[in-house]
Structure 1
Amino acid sequence: MPEISRFFGISIKMYFGDHEPPHFHTEYGEHKAVVDIHTLVVIGGYLPPRVLGLVVEWASQHQVELLALWKRAINQQPLHKIPPLS
């Protein structure tokens, strides 16, 4: 699963050929979650509230790019990195 961004110890990843709805995976320490790209809501797993806030802030800044990467991932095409939250 390619890592598409990393910031403040948070890893953001996408699987190739993954299932709908469009989403990305996050990891922070022992916590893991899946976040819907359209709604920016956790659809699986758990992140501490502060970490979730950072992830949602980052994703809201890159939502269009995340959707483009999702299309690439489901078509088994290479993914590029998205800049971290600064």
Structure 2
Amino acid sequence: MPELSRFFGIVITMYARDHGPPHFHARFGEHEAMFDIESSQVLRGRLPKRAHDLVDQWSDLHRSELRAAWDALAQGTNPDKIAPLS
């Protein structure tokens, strides 16, 4: 489970050989949600509103890097880290 980014207590990860649609996981404390890369919609789980808004903002800025990370994992290679939200 590569960690792609970390900001404001939020940890963004992806799992190798995970099922589609392309997505990433965001953890904040005991909360976790799975976000669709293309739409940023929550596919499963829940984050507190402020954390959810930060993840939305971050994913909008880094959508192409998230796609590249998904593709890298699908090809069996490690994805690059993605800059945190600042």
Q: Secondary structure at the match of 1:67?
A: helix
Helix, strand or coil for the counterpart of 1:11?
strand
TM-score by length of 2: 0.97
Deviation at 1:74, TM superposition (A): 1.6
Report the equivalent of 2:41.
41
Aligned length: 86
Return the alpha-carbon distance in structure 2 between the equivalents of residues 68 and 34 of structure 1: 17
* Deviation beyond 6 Å, 4+ runs, structure 1: none
**Contact preservation (8 Å) 1:16, 1:75:** no
**Percent of aligned positions with the same letter in both sequences?**
50
For 2:58, the aligned partner's letter is W
Partner of 2:7: 7
CA-atom RMSD in angstroms: 0.6
Q: Decide whether the 8 Å contact of 2:68 with 2:79 is kept in 1.
A: no
What residue ranges of structure 1 are gaps of 5+ in the alignment?
none
